[in-house]
Amino acid sequence: MRKIRINKYSQRDRQQLQERIAASVERDPEPYLQKYTQDPRSHEGRYVSSDLMKETIPEYAASNEARARYSNPLHNSAAVLAAEQYSRIVNDHSHPERDQAIFLTGIPGAGKTTAVLTGGEPPGQLPNDVRVVYEGPLSNPETSIPKIREAIDAGLVPTIVAVNTLPETALQNTLNRFESEGRGASIHAMATIQSELPDALRRIHEQFGDQANLVVIDRSSGMNNSTELSGWEHPNRLQEGTYEQLKDRLQSALEQQFAENRNAFDGYRQAVGLPTIGLSEGLHNQYGQRVEQLQTADEAEVAKLQSELLHNPEALGLPAQFTPALYQVEKFEQAAEVFAHLPSADPAENSQSNSNDITDDDDSGLSQSM
């Protein structure tokens, strides 16, 4: 198993948790891998995803707020574990009838997992002939080609299932998922994956030819109006624009939704690549006494804090026109942000969050991939 790369985070709770879990995983990965295979969502470990692997970490799985805050710091540990799980399943020949490998890819929020699980017998199960389903963007051939090669070398037939939808639809789906599960996606990651995937698939085809298959599920006409296309002549159906075009579309859609109060404050922050500010256990340990003092403060003290925040919206990473939305932020969230010294306004942190976010599905050399 590979060594886990440690990133730098300006928030103490995120940095310390990253280092502690990385050390634990490197010392003994088996408890995490055993817990993963026992999770029904992994289908006995045959479905491999770094996001699901994070659920084996108690500090991450504790709450939606914990998932939102600690997803990036725990990604590299989860990615290394997922890579190990993938190799074990691919090279497990105990069921020779399972001779298929599915590589599930597409923009976050496209409904990728649902697209595969509906093909099983009964629905909701993996197809009987599938040994492994690997979920990731595949938009970086440097990391995706070795995985496909490993499957072929193990005697499996690889099929890439690429799911496409409009970026605005995908954004809404990721925001809904953030609210219900604490897992979102940044618009930087979404634009990168969707813009780079078509060319990456062409490179995969150049490498493997007819040794690998391609299926495109196009939902650009609506999530309930899918068109399934088989063959390597269809990568262009995934093209919705350049990175800049896609990012502009996503940013406009996000700002419109936030202005209409259709998504939460932390939902906006994670979408633009900033850490969330819910009062996590780590923040409470670090700033707990002062936060509790504020939560019991009188109306005048709270009003003073609101005024201070509203006069400095840039420190919160929000466009100036959205400052009225801060009045609707809960007191404990305001307190957590104030006493965390607004570290998320640091451009370096924003950049790091973006790079990690892409690799939540294993797709960037900027952070450790699966």
Instruction: Please write the tens of the pLDDT for every residue from 136-188.
Output: 889 999 999 999 999 999 999 999 999 999 999 999 999 999 989 989 999 99
| Domain 12-272+348-361 indexed as CATH 1.25.40 | no
End-to-end CA distance of the chain: 11
Tell how many helices (H) and how many strands (E) occur in the chain: 16, 6
The pLDDT, as a whole number, for residue 257 is 81
Q: Of 304-308, 333-337, 344-348, which gets the smallest average pLDDT? A: 344-348
Is residue 134 a contact partner of residue 147, using CB atoms and an 8 Å limit?
yes
> Is residue 370 predicted with pLDDT exceeding 80?
no
Q: Look up the pTM and report it.
A: 0.77
Residue ranges of the chain assigned to CATH 3.40.50: 12-272+348-361
Q: Is 68 left (phi over 0), alpha (psi -120 to 50) or beta?
A: alpha
Tokens of 260: 């209409």
> Is residue 15 predicted with pLDDT exceeding 70?
yes
List of residues 6+ apart from 65 with CB closer than 8 A: 182, 266, 276, 278, 279, 280
Is 279 in a helix, a strand, or coil? coil
Residue 168 or residue 328, greater confidence: 168
Is residue 223 a contact partner of residue 231, using CB atoms and an 8 Å limit?
no
Is residue 238 a contact partner of residue 298, using CB atoms and an 8 Å limit?
no
Distance CA 37, CA 355 (A): 28
